[in-house]
Amino acid sequence: MEAIKYLSPTAQMILFSALKIGVVFGVVMTAVAYAVLVERKVSAWIQNRVGPNRTAPFFINYLPVIGPFLVKLGIFQPAADGLKFLLKEDFTPSYVRKVYFWLAPAITVIPALLTVAVIPFGSNLGSEKMVIADLNVGILYTFGIVSLGVYGIVLAGYGSNSKYPFLGSIRSTAQMISYEIAMGMSVIPIFILTESLNLSDIIRYQAEHGWMILKQPLAFVIFLIAAFAETNRLPFDLPESESELVGGYHTEYSSMKFALFFLGEYANMIASAAMMVTLFLGGWTLPFIDALNLPASSLLLGLIHIGVFFAKMAFFMIVFIWVRWMLPRFRYDQLMDLGWRRFIPLALANIVVTALVVSLFNN
C-alpha cells in the first residue's frame, strides 16, 4: 500500500478509477445474475410454486445442513443458467441483416453499464470518493446514455428482418421516447430545489433538508412509472409482449446474444433503481443518525454507507419484480395516453408549482 503514495496524482487517479470500474462492473454483473434468480423465486412464491431448487454442484455433499439449504434457495442456479447460455447453439437465421443483428445485443448492454459510472454508491473509503466519475452534469449524462439504449432494441427489430421483431422495435421507439420526456421533466423540480445537476450535490442536499421523496412525491411517482416503461418491464413490456409478438424484438435471437438482451434489461433495472435511490431516497445517507448522514470518517462507516445504498437499491429491485408478477399488461393506446396526456402535463404542472414556491420563498 505504501508504494501507492509515490505514484503521481494522475497515475493514482487512473489506478483507483480502474479499480472502481472493475469492482462496480463485477458487482453489477453478479447483481444481474442474482436478480434473475430473485425474479424466478419471487414469481414462484407469488404463483404458489417453489422455484429453482435443484441445481447442486458436486462439492455440496461435503457441506452438512447449509449445503442443502443453499440448493433449495437456488444459489447455484445463475451459474448453471450462464453456462447454458454460453454453450447453446448460436443460430443466425439466413434472412437477417448480419451487421445490425450482431450489433444490437451489444448496443443494448453497453449503455446500461455506462449509466452506473456517475452514480455515487457510497461516501468514501479512505480519501477515495465512491463514484467512478463525479460529473457536474451527472444526471444529464445518465439521461443521454439511457436514451442511446433504445438503439439496441430498434436495430434488433430492423436487423432481424422479420415481422414480430419489427413490430416490437417500432413500438419501443415510440414508447421509450414518450416516457423519456415524462422522466426528464419529472426530475426538473429536483434541480430547481438543489440548484445542481451533480448527483453528489443532490445527495448532500437531501442529507441536509430531508429526502426528495417527501418534497416531490409526484415527481417520484412519475419517475418510477416511467422507469418501468424505459426498462420495458411489465406493465409496459409492449416491445416484447410475448402473448402477441412471440418475443418481440428478440424473437430471432438465441444463445448468448439472447442472454445479452436479458442482461441489458436487468442492468437497466439496476441503473434506474440506483438513480431512484440517488434522486429520491437520499443515496447512501440515512436520516436521524449523524454518522450515517455525513461523509464517512472511517473505513467501516464507508462500508456501511455502501451497504445502505445497496439495501435501498435491492428494495427497488424487489418492487420492479413484484409489480411484474402482479399487474397485467397495458394496451398500446392506454400506454401512449398515460404517457402523453397524464404524465407530461402533470410533470409540467409540477415544474411550474415548484418554481413558483421556490421563487416566493426565496424573496
Q: Which residues bind another protein (CB under 8 A)?
A: 10, 100, 135-137, 140-141, 143-148, 150-151, 154-155, 157-158, 166, 169-170, 173-174, 176-177, 180, 197
Q: Which is nearer to another protein, 146 or 347 (CB)?
A: 146
Q: Which is nearer to another protein, 111 or 120 (CB)?
A: 111
Q: Give me the least distance between CB of 36 and another protein, in Å please.
A: 27
Residue type, 1: M
Q: Of 301, 348, 269, 257, whose CA–CA distance to 35 is shortest?
A: 269
Q: Which is nearer to another protein, 162 or 255 (CB)?
A: 162
The per-residue b/e assignment along 191-209, b for 16 or more CB within 10 angstroms, e otherwise, is: ebbbebbbbbbbbbbbbee
- Report the C-alpha gap between 363 and 356 in whole angstroms: 11
> Position of cell 409489480?
323
The answer to whether the beta carbons of residues 161 and 96 sit under 8 Å apart is yes
- Taking CA atoms, 314 is separated from 34, 50, 95, 238, 284, in Å, by 11, 21, 41, 25, 13
Q: Of 268, 218, 271, whose CA–CA distance to 239 is shortest?
A: 268
Q: Give me the least distance between CB of 143 and another protein, in Å please.
A: 5
All 3 cell numbers of residue 43?
A: 414469481
Q: Which is nearer to another protein, 153 or 296 (CB)?
A: 153
- Report the C-alpha gap between 179 and 177 in whole angstroms: 6
Q: Give me the least distance between CB of 156 and another protein, in Å please.
A: 12
Q: Give me the least distance between CB of 179 and another protein, in Å please.
A: 12
H/E run at residue 124: strand 124-125
Q: Give me the least distance between CB of 170 and another protein, in Å please.
A: 7
CA angle 94, 100, 105 (to 5 degrees): 105
Q: Which is nearer to another protein, 170 or 314 (CB)?
A: 170
- Report the C-alpha gap between 312 and 203 in whole angstroms: 14
Q: Which is nearer to another protein, 191 or 322 (CB)?
A: 191
User: Crossing angle for the helix pair 217-230 and 255-280, nearest 10 degrees?
Assistant: 170
Q: Give me the least distance between CB of 33 and another protein, in Å please.
A: 28
Q: Which is nearer to another protein, 90 or 195 (CB)?
A: 195
269 CB-near residues (< 8 Å, 6+ apart): 35, 231, 233, 317, 320
Q: Which is nearer to another protein, 197 or 294 (CB)?
A: 197
CA angle 24, 317, 255 (to 5 degrees): 70
Q: Which is nearer to another protein, 146 or 308 (CB)?
A: 146
DSSP string covering 4-28 = GGGS-HHHHHHHHHHHHHHHHHHHH
